[in-house]
């Protein structure tokens, strides 16, 4: 089976390469800012300043941290399985980067007399692609925890398996409602279909289910049982140090960016602005990134508000509340669309 | 009150709401989540309460017991301390050492008959109880407001008479009235 993109226009290979480099570069630049933003916001939410010592306003904090990670000894326990132990962070990072490829940052523009879409690629299986890579990224966490040869890591990995399986179903089902309404799986198609009204209004149930399931999917509080610093000494990444640990951290933040991007695209109308404002094309990526930051801020806010759920609460919430809600949403959407 | 005691008369029926159902539980959880989000957000609106210590020092109260000070008479410039060693006797940590010597007309240090030839306080032992201040009959020693006394060696923490007499570098902000 070949997967072909339906774009309706031709992009030369060098243009795709340039686009890939630009998108990756921008996101790679956002990632360290995000770590410092999270910690500064965390400080403010707790009545503190947060990091403000390194550089102006503490903005050079990530540089110091990267230097620190780089200078650390790449420790590997005796009981670990070497090859998989080293492979796991790579899997986590690569899948997170791969999911980035289909996030639409803007409409098709005319640059250098060519038609260029401001996104990596517009695949005709948008959400499926994201969930496929989310499914693989879970191997990174799972194998990392298992290959560490430590009980804390193993417990963390086991929790990951259960948690991700429970919440991926609800997350996918939450998007099915949108896909039914838009009638397309292409993410740019979904954005174009939101010209009249953003899907957050008709798909509010789907939006809430998606947000909650996403919190669990990206292992953030209150669903951060995978890491659970207080109980599992860091969960699956207990035995990782130095750059491998940084890779997991990078993957985690990248997943957050991807989920925020998907939520923006699918529920908040991507690059569209409300009240019939049609800005010039170069504003599109700024709009998308601003909306993504909105979601990321919300994720951080939630993290520093809610305590971690108990394991059985997490499971019963996923299967008894979220899944029926998501299924009901799909059912009602289907009935409304057909009728 | 007549008749035999009836225990059931003392029983108070407590009115309890029925146990919350799933819908109500979900609603309540949602409401509490919103309340939590409001709480953290209002912390952000209030702004940080951090004192950025080395740049910004915590003000002390007027009666704060910091590092000791020895005093002179303002008019004559003579030391108030007469070397009576009452402070050393009162000190529970035994950190004050006083060696007294006689004043002579040519060599007059203090207002009394004798003066403290050696006056040392070992601040690594001091517990800042203020008993020395209470014991002193001439108000020669008082507790100051200085609380930044870290040093690199223990011997540096033994303050001599010259150091205690010297005008303290006023580094500690004082709390205003009623603060």
What pLDDT digit, counting tens, does each position of A158-199 carry?
888 888 888 888 888 888 888 888 888 888 888 888 877 888
Largest CA distance in chain B: 100
pLDDT above 70 (res B170): no
User: Are B43 and A306 an interchain contact pair (Cβ–Cβ within 8 Å)?
Assistant: no
Instruction: From B72, B52, B68, B55, select the one nearest B146 (Cα to Cα).
Output: B68
Interface of B with A (CB under 8 A): 26, 33, 36-37, 39-41, 43-44, 46-50, 52
Residues in A touching B46 (Cβ below 8 Å): 47
Task: Please give the pLDDT value at position A2.
Answer: 46
User: Are A47 and B36 an interchain contact pair (Cβ–Cβ within 8 Å)?
Assistant: no
Task: Please give the pLDDT value at position A274.
Answer: 77
Distances (CA, A) of A48 to A37, A39, A251, A299, B60: 13, 10, 27, 19, 22
Our CA-based measurement puts residue A81 at a distance from the nearest CA of chain B, in whole angstroms, of 42
Our CA-based measurement puts residue A39 at a distance from the nearest CA of chain B, in whole angstroms, of 13
Nearest by CB to A306, from B36, B41, B44: name it. Answer: B36
User: Are B43 and A43 an interchain contact pair (Cβ–Cβ within 8 Å)?
Assistant: no
Would an 8 Å CB–CB cutoff place A321 in contact with chain B?
A: yes
Residue of B nearest to A48 (CA): B48
In Å, how far from its chain's centre is CA A311?
23
Instruction: From A336, A137, A154, select the one nearest A253 (Cα to Cα).
Output: A137
User: Are A47 and B46 an interchain contact pair (Cβ–Cβ within 8 Å)?
Assistant: yes
Cα-trace Rg, chain B: 31
Would an 8 Å CB–CB cutoff place A53 in contact with chain B?
A: no
Would an 8 Å CB–CB cutoff place A12 in contact with chain B?
A: no
Mean pLDDT comparison of A7-21, A96-110, A273-287, B94-108, highest-scoring range: B94-108
By the 10 Å C-beta count (0-12 exposed, 13-18 middle, 19+ buried), A259 is classed as: buried
Would an 8 Å CB–CB cutoff place A316 in contact with chain B?
A: no
- Predicted confidence (pLDDT) per residue in A65-92, tens digit: 888 888 888 888 888 888 888 888 888 8
Q: Which pTM value belongs to this model?
A: 0.78
Our CA-based measurement puts residue A44 at a distance from the nearest CA of chain B, in whole angstroms, of 5
Q: Are strands B114-122 and B96-102 parallel, antiparallel or unpaired?
A: antiparallel
User: Are A305 and B48 an interchain contact pair (Cβ–Cβ within 8 Å)?
Assistant: no
Our CA-based measurement puts residue A49 at a distance from the nearest CA of chain B, in whole angstroms, of 6
């Amino acid at each position: 089976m070949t997967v072909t993109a339906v774009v309706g226009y031709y992009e030369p290979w060098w243009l795709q390469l340039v686009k890939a480099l630009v998108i990756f570069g921008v996101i790679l630049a956002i990632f360290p800012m995000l770590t410092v933003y999270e910690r500064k916001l965390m400080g403010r939410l707790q009545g503190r300043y947060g990091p403000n010592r390194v550089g102006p306003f503490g903005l050079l904090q990530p540089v110091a941290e990267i230097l620190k990670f780089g200078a650390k000894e790449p420790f590997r326990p005796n009981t670990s399985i070497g090859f998989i132990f080293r492979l796991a962070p790579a899997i986590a990072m690569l899948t997170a980067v791969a999911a980035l490829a289909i996030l639409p940052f803007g409409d098709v523009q005319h640059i250098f007399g060519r038609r260029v879409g401001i996104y990596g690629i517009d695949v005709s299986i948008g959400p499926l692609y994201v969930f496929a890579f989310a499914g693989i990224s879970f191997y990174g966490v799972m194998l990392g925890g298992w290959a560490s040869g430590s009980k804390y890591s193993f417990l963390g990995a086991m929790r990951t398996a259960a948690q991700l399986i429970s919440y991926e179903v609800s997350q996918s089902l939450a998007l099915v409602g949108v896909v039914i309404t838009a009638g397309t799986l292409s993410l740019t198609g979904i954005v174009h279909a939101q010209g009249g009204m953003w899907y957050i209004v008709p798909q509010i149930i789907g939006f809430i289910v998606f947000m909650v399931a996403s919190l669990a999917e990206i292992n953030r509080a209150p669903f951060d049982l995978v890491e659970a610093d207080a109980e599992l000494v860091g969960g699956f990444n207990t035995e990782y140090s130095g750059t491998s640990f940084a890779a997991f951290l990078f993957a985690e933040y990248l997943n957050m960016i991807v989920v925020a991007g998907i939520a923006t695209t699918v529920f908040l109308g991507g690059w569209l602005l409300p009240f019939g404002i049609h800005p010039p094309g170069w504003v599109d990526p700024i709009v998308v990134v601003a909306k993504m930051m909105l979601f990321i801020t919300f994720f951080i806010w939630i993290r520093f508000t809610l305590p971690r759920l108990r394991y059985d609460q997490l499971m019963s919430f996923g299967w008894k509340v979220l899944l029926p809600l998501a299924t009901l949403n799909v059912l009602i959407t289907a009935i409304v669309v057909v009728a | 009150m007549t008749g035999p005691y009836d225990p059931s008369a003392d029983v108070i029926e407590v009115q309890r709401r029925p146990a919350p159902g799933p819908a109500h539980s979900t609603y309540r959880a949602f409401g509490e989540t919103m309340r939590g989000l409001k709480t953290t957000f209002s912390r952000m609106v209030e702004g940080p309460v951090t004192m950025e210590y080395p740049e910004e020092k915590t003000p002390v109260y007027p009666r704060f017991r910091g590092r000791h000070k020895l005093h002179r008479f303002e008019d004559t410039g003579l030391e108030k301390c007469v070397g009576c060693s009452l402070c050393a006797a009162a000190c529970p940590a035994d950190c004050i050492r006083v060696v007294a010597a006689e004043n002579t007309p040519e060599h007059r240090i203090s207002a009394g008959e004798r003066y403290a030839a050696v006056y040392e306080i070992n601040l690594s032992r001091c517990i800042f109880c203020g008993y020395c201040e209470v014991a002193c009959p001439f108000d020669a020693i008082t507790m100051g407001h200085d609380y930044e006394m870290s040093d690199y060696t223990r011997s540096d923490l033994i303050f001599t008479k010259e150091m205690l007499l010297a005008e303290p570098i006023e580094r500690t902000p004082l709390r205003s009235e009623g603060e």
